[in-house]
Amino acid sequence: MTATDRSLELINTAAQAAADKLAHDIIAYDVSDVLSITDAFLLASAPNDRQVKAIVDEIEERLSKDLGAKPVRREGDREARWVLLDYVDIVVHVQHSEERVFYALERLWKDCPELELPEDARATRGKAEEHAKLQAAEDADRPGGEW
């Protein structure tokens, strides 16, 4: 069993929305062979809580407006450290960069086929690491490492 055309349409639209809001390391997996509850997972991250929320809001708006899809469940919204959007056919995980590293969902799903995403989404690969290096350099340039 593979992800349905509808699932792929949702994944690609959500990935593009995440990329438009500058999400980092966007990746999608076809989990239909190992899970019966959904076809695909989309993972994305951001360096701060406000950006996580902005990405989630954009994904929700775009899927609703373009495809008429609304999530059946939204979790983690209050803290905006790991927000899950469940659309039944797909599940979107938008995580703060620290949670993304700690929970390493990619390790759990690495045996599942990776789904092809729009070019803008693929271009986000490695952005979290790049951002962390820039942040470390900025912190080192501050007197006493203080803000």
pLDDT in tens, 132-147: 666 666 667 766 655 5
Q: Is the pLDDT of residue 41 over 80?
A: yes
58-91 pLDDT, tens digit per residue, is 999 999 999 999 999 999 978 889 999 999 999 9
Who contacts 147 (Cβ-Cβ below 8 Å, separation ≥6)?
A: none
pTM, entire model: 0.88
Helix (H) or strand (E) holding 33: none
Chain-wide mean pLDDT for the chain? 91
Q: In the chain, where are the structural domains located?
A: 5-141
Give the C-alpha separation, 44 to 67, whole Å: 20
At residue 80, the pLDDT reads 86
At residue 52, the pLDDT reads 96
20-38 pLDDT, tens digit per residue, is 999 999 999 999 999 999 9
Fold type of domain 5-141 = Beta Polymerase; domain 2 (3.30.460)
Who contacts 93 (Cβ-Cβ below 8 Å, separation ≥6)?
A: 41, 42, 43, 44, 82, 83, 84, 105
At residue 145, the pLDDT reads 52
Contact 122, 21 (CB under 8 A): no
